[in-house]
Amino acid sequence: MPDLSFAIEGAEPVPYAASPMLALKLRVANTPPDQSIRGITLQCQIQIEAPRRPYTKEEQARLLDLYGPPERWGQTLRTSFWTNAGVNVPPFSGAVTVDVPVPCSFDFNVASTKYFHALESGEAPLCVLFSGTVFFDDPERGFTVAQIPWAKEARYRLPVNVWKRVIDLYYPNTAWLTLRRDVFDRLHEYKMQNSIPTWDLALERLLS
């Protein structure tokens, strides 16, 4: 039975995906190293370990919507789900490095978007939980299929500027809001009645 270990060695933006995406550089190693791994169908659940970093006063203010006032963070600041990702690991012996494509939502109704957007700099602590199926050659049974144990995981501190580079690459100087249809209709009517040429200007007038 293979004994797989996982380590994330870096992250970078994916420049030409259909939607914002970053790639985690995942190293998969096996013991014994001379065993032939035919392939792995790998699923990754990525969690944000929010308690594992400090926050500036400005970041605390921007995280009010997620965690409430800082004096309550002892109860509210918890590890939270970010996203699921998957990758097919090619055949290897010993170790191999693959890119895990991670979708990066810029929808401000999503908690992870609010979290990353609130951070100024530094790193976001992640925990990646692995599951899936490994196909390998067994000396006695030949071609064999086994499940990856649920205990397999890897931690990584994602540089905040990598996430920001991903978003700036796909949405330069732009943010997206999702509105209820009736709210949008009211905003649209206000824009037309006042002959306002752009949505930005309509919102700026309402805010002022």
Mean pLDDT of 38-46: 97
pLDDT of residue 176: 80
pLDDT band at 58, cuts 50/70/90? very high
Encode pLDDT of 8-35 as tens digits: 999 999 999 999 999 999 999 999 898 9
Q: Residue 168 is encoded by which pair of tokens?
A: 């700036």
Asked whether the predicted pLDDT for residue 108 surpasses 80, the reply is yes
Asked whether the predicted pLDDT for residue 174 surpasses 90, the reply is no
| Angle of the 199-207 helix axis to the 181-193 helix axis, nearest 10 | 90
Backbone angles phi, psi at 51, to 5 degrees: -70, -10
Q: Report DSSP state, residue 184.
A: H
pLDDT of residue 175: 82
- Indicate the helix (H) or strand (E) that contains 21: strand 21-31
pLDDT of residue 139: 76
Strands 80-89 and 36-48 come out as antiparallel
Q: What is the CB neighbour count within 10 angstroms for residue 84?
A: 12
pLDDT band at 179, cuts 50/70/90? confident
Q: Residue 185 is encoded by which pair of tokens?
A: 């209709």
Cα gap 153→5, rounded to integer Å: 8
Mean pLDDT of 154-164: 97
Backbone angles phi, psi at 15, to 5 degrees: -75, -25
Mean pLDDT of 60-72: 95
Backbone angles phi, psi at 56, to 5 degrees: -75, 170
User: Kindly report the CA angle at 56 between 52 and 156, in degrees rounded to 5?
Assistant: 30
pLDDT of residue 137: 86
Q: What is the mean pLDDT of the chain?
A: 94
Q: Residue 103 is encoded by which pair of tokens?
A: 């979708």
